[in-house]
Amino acid sequence: MNRRQFIKTGLALGTAAALGVTLYPVVTAESSTEPAAQGPARTVLLALVPALLFGALPKDTHAAQQQIAATVDAALAFLPYLPQRQQHDLQQLFVMLDTELLRLALAGHLTPLADLPVAARLALLHGWRDSFIALLNQAYSGLRELLYGSYYGNPEHWAPIAYQPLEFRSYE
Amino acid sequence: MSKSLIPDPIAQGLASGWSHLDASTLTQDRDFDTDVVIIGTGAGGALAAELLSKAGLRVLMVEHGAFYSSSDFRQQERWAYPNLYQDGAGRKTKDQAIGILQGRTVGGSTTVNWTTSIRTPKGALAYWHEQFGVDFADELTPYFDKACERLSISEWALTPNANNGLIQRGCEKLGWSYTIIHRNVNGCANTGYCGMGCPINAKQSMLVTTIPTALSHGATLISRAQAWQLQWQGDAVSGLLVHPVDAQFQPNPAIAIRIKAKHYVLAGGAINSPALLLRSNVPNPSGRLGKHTYLHPSVICGALFDEDVKGAMGAPQSVYSDQFVWPSDPQAMGFKLEAAPVHPVLMASKLAVDGQAHADLMAQFNQLAVTIALLRDGYHVEAQGGQVELDSHGQPMLDYPLTEYFWRGVRQAYLAMAELQFAAGAKAVMPIHQQAQLYSSLDEAKAAINALPLERYQATVASAHVMGGCNFSADPANGVVRPDGRHHQLANLSVLDGSVLPTSLGANPQLTIYGLTWRNTELLIEQLRKA
């Protein structure tokens, strides 16, 4: 994150705070398994998977879309296993990234993530990685672990890495 | 392979009439009365359950995780992590700088650990004697012997897999010490899936050893149930409140399971045991409850080889090096060198690169070896561990500061791992750090490692060993429990798990917990008989 982005982030976070929005409110939030809560999460994750997994996704667009969708489904299915505290934190992050003003706070621009080129989405994540703000460092680490884990947890994605585990019975 | 070809002792036991309640099926409150209730079924709780039930006591075990067995286990991380690990293997420290792998299933971490069995190092025993007035130097030896016999712990006789073989080869070339690991296995097929639940019941975890014995001796197991709070008055515990959990292991406070017992054994592991006591607001005159929680915080170095390593296959850990674990310089943080199994989720989520670079490394998955350095915390003023706190939901968070002393140790660990890997024939090495790259010579790696900014989030830090938070001490002013595990203030409460350790070990903890628990449970049985 450069100085200009840093200042914009600071300004927008200040605005968000002034509007009564906090990143990590202590509330009894809905479980992320509930459809209403999945909307922002799905939108954000669908936008970030192609950036993080650029190079791993197949060149064929249809096949890539299928893998992206499967990865996001797996990530959303995993979230309810996290402590409620972490679920709330992630849910807040997804809502912010899916809301125009709050996206300005976190991403430094008003453009929806899905409308950004893939390289710009990755640059956004790396901005968080290199930020001085610990919450953004945590958001970067948390999202990448979630999405890489969700992608490489799927046996259908193992052919390129030649991982062939033994199966002791039929699992599905 | 057909399901029926692998005998499942748990399925057989349940069919024979073991007493098991899956609490997630409850629709109304339940009450239980027993001689001893044991919270947690890992290395401490399950061994205690076996000994207590064989002694004729009525035993009730409470476990947050599910009663899964080999018929359920899948050799897939996407199933194993959410179903067998704490927080779906996503447990983190409060600032999320350290990932913590800890089991949450019947058998606890023993169901998913990598089977490494090491007796308590002399350095740890000497430190405990000096600082905590507890002399276990010779006393634990017969209990280690018993545990080794009970759990078939012996030196691994097969050739180490390539991921471990590199440690042996590198150490031989450099003149460093190394040890062939003792493992708790019987009939191991060397498949490499210890971390996902042994598919053939070869690992002598608590799941297939002490828990079946306890159940066969009349013990009851309540699974999918989170022990929430101890009720106490004066110097005695009077009850335990437990809540069922749902399919994702989240507690349901609307239903209560109330347990009354003559004696209460806490064995939820470091982090969870202190959290229960904090929720219960028990006496804490030493101020040490939940504090001094240790992790063996570990850093990682990957290495690429020309030939296949296939680090997913074979015993995950069979060789370690203690060359650096007990340094003569008191200002140096010691570290132990071990291998870590290379499975896709573990690897992909830990690699510190993204996009095309990540895909390029994953494409070399089978040529990638992984060495880890476990830093020995608890022996220096700047390594006093973390503190367990409760979040707004009453669940534990571990606040674990990473100090300059730790980061100095990390740099030395990176340098040692790179040197070891190159000595073993690696063509390139890469510390798992956001600013590190693949380095193709030791000189290049050394220069880069010496320049790496070492701070939280930049370096990937992980832990598979949780210790402390309810430390034993002869002096009540310096600990939560006595050396025999009995709580200093609450007469009918014992803590029998890794949380009693006053420091980390510089060694994988399961055998220490077995030895200590065996000793202290024998003492407890004597005391209960007298009472």
Tell me what ipTM this predicted complex has: 0.95
Q: Is residue B13 part of a domain?
A: no
What is the residue whose two structure tokens read 């409110």?
A25
Residues B286 and B340 in one domain: no
Would you state the structure tokens that stand for residue B427, as one six-digit string? 């063509």
Which DSSP category does B467 fall into?
E
Looking at the domain assignment, is residue A171 inside a domain?
A: no
Token representation of residue A1:
């994150």
Within a domain: B14 = no
Do residues B262 and B362 share a domain?
Answer: no
* Confidence (pLDDT) at A17: 41
Please indicate, yes or no, if residue B138 is contained in any of the structural domains. Answer: yes
Residues B417, B318: one domain?
yes
CA distance B331 to B339: 26
Nearest residue of B to residue A120, measured between CA atoms: B355
Average pLDDT over residues B81-91: 97
Q: Do B74 and A171 touch (CB under 8 A)?
A: yes
* Domain assignment present for A172: no
Tell me, yes or no, whether B510 lies in a domain.
Answer: yes
Domain count, chain B: 2
Residue B3 confidence (pLDDT) above 80: no
Residue A80, domain member (yes or no)? yes
Does residue B390 fall inside a structural domain? yes
Is the pLDDT score of B2 beyond 80?
Answer: no
Q: Are B487 and B285 in contact (CB under 8 A)?
A: no
Q: What pLDDT digit, counting tens, does each position of A119-152 carry?
A: 999 999 999 999 999 999 999 999 999 999 999 9
**pLDDT per residue as tens digits for the range B361-381:** 999 999 999 999 999 999 999
Higher model confidence: residue B257 or residue B530? B257
Q: Which residues does chain A have within 8 Å of residue B78's beta carbon, measured at their own beta carbons?
A: 74, 150, 153-154
CA–CA dist B416, B406 (Å, integer): 15
The residue of chain A nearest to residue B346, with distances taken between CA atoms, is: A149
Distance (Å, whole) CA B376 – CA B465: 11
A163 domain-assigned: no
Of B414, B431, B463, which residue sits at a domain end?
B463
User: What six digits make up the tokens of B494?
Assistant: 């014992």
Asked if B354 and A162 touch (Cβ cutoff 8 Å), the reply is no
Instruction: Report whether B385 contacts B292 (CB < 8 A).
Output: yes
- Position B195 in a domain: no
**Residue B419 pLDDT greater than 70, yes or no:** yes
End position of a domain, from candidates B463, B491, B513: B463
Distances (CA, A) of B147 to B116, B219, B435, B514: 13, 21, 44, 6
Among A101, A128, A13, smallest CA distance to B354 is for A128
pLDDT digits (tens, 9 = 90+) for B199-209: 999 999 999 99
Percent of chain B with pLDDT over 70: 99
> Which long-range CB contacts under 8 A does B82-91 form with residues at least 24 apart?
B82/A78, B82/A81, B82/B248, B84/B111, B84/B112, B84/B196, B84/B197, B85/B112, B86/B272, B87/A81, B87/A82, B87/A83, B87/A86, B88/A78, B88/A81, B88/A82, B90/A78, B90/A81, B90/A82, B90/A86, B90/A145, B91/B271
Q: Does a structural domain hold residue A75?
A: yes
Is position A13 within any domain?
Answer: yes
Are B265 and B335 in a shared domain?
no
B285 and B297 together in one domain: no
Assess contact for A91 and A85: CB atoms under 8 A: no
pLDDT digits (tens, 9 = 90+) for B110-163: 999 999 999 999 999 999 999 999 999 899 999 999 999 999 999 999 999 999
Residues of B in contact with A166 (CB under 8 A): 75, 191, 193, 199
Inter-chain CB proximity B363 and A148 less than 8 Å: no
Residue-wise pLDDT for B313-326, tens only, equals: 999 999 999 999 99
Region class of B218: left (phi > 0), else alpha (psi between -120 and 50), else beta: left
How far is the alpha carbon of B91 from chain A, nearest alpha carbon, in Å? Answer: 8
Per CB-CB distance under 8 Å, the chain B contacts of A145 are: 90, 99, 349
| Closest residue by Cα to residue B165 from B307, B320, B303 | B320
Give the domain CATH number at B34. 3.50.50.60
Q: Check whether residue B360 and residue B456 sit in a common domain.
A: yes
Domain count, chain A: 1
Residues B369 and B435 in one domain: yes
* Percent of residues, chain A, with pLDDT higher than 90: 58
| Residue that is last in its domain, among B410, B429, B463 | B463
Q: Provide the β-strand partners of residue B257.
A: B30, B242
Q: Which residue has the higher pLDDT, B531 or B241?
A: B241
Query: Is B393–A74 a contact, with Cβ atoms under 8 angstroms apart?
Result: no
Q: Is A84 within the bounds of a domain?
A: yes
Confidence of residue A108 (pLDDT cuts 50, 70, 90): confident
β-pairing, B220-223 with B59-62?
parallel
Q: What is the mean pLDDT of residues A72-95?
A: 94
Of B75, B344, B457, nearest to A158 by CB-CB distance is B344
Q: B474 and B459 share a domain?
A: no
User: CA A41 → CA A67, A134, A145, B169, B522, distances in Å?
Assistant: 17, 21, 15, 47, 52
Q: Is residue B320 part of a domain?
A: yes
Tell me what pLDDT residue A38 has: 73
The SS3 of residue B376 is coil
**B120 and B264, same domain (yes or no):** yes
- Chain A nearest-CA distance from B432, in A, is 13
Q: Is A159 helix (H, G, I), strand (E, B) or coil?
A: helix
Q: Is B444 contained in some domain?
A: yes
- CA proximity to B105, closest of B86, B84, B89: B84
Residues B245 and B363 in one domain: no
Q: Which amino acid is at B472?
A: F
Q: In this structure, are residues B365 and A163 in contact, taking their beta carbons and an 8 Å threshold?
A: yes
Task: Tell me the residue range of the domain where A141 lies.
Answer: 3-21+35-155
pLDDT at B415 over 70: yes
CB contact under 8 A, A85 and B343: no
Same domain, B272 and B305: no
Instruction: Output phi, psi for B70, to 5 deg.
Output: -60, -25
Structure tokens at B289: 């409850």
**pLDDT bucket at A102, cuts 50 / 70 / 90:** confident
Asked if residue A22 has pLDDT above 90, the reply is no
pLDDT at A12: 46
CA distances, B93 to each of A144, B17, B352 (Å) = 17, 41, 19
> A18 — contact with chain B (CB < 8 Å)?
no
Helix, strand and coil content of chain B, in percent to the nearest 5, comes to 30, 25, 45
Q: What is the per-residue pLDDT for A37?
A: 53
DSSP codes of every residue in B275-344: HHHHHTT---TTS-TT-SEE---EEEEEEE-SS---TTSS-S--EEB-TTTS-SSTTSPPEEEEE----H
Per DSSP, the three-state class of A57 is coil
* CB contact A160 to B (< 8 Å): yes
Residues of chain B found within 8 Å of residue A171, distances taken between Cβ atoms? 74, 76, 79
Chain B residues inside the 8 Å CB shell of A76: none
Same domain, B215 and B333: no
CATH number of the domain residue B334 falls in: 3.30.410
Tell me the residue range of the domain where B402 lies. Answer: 162-182+293-463
Q: With beta carbons under 8 A apart, name residues in chain A contacting B87.
A: 81-83, 86
In a domain, A110, yes or no: yes
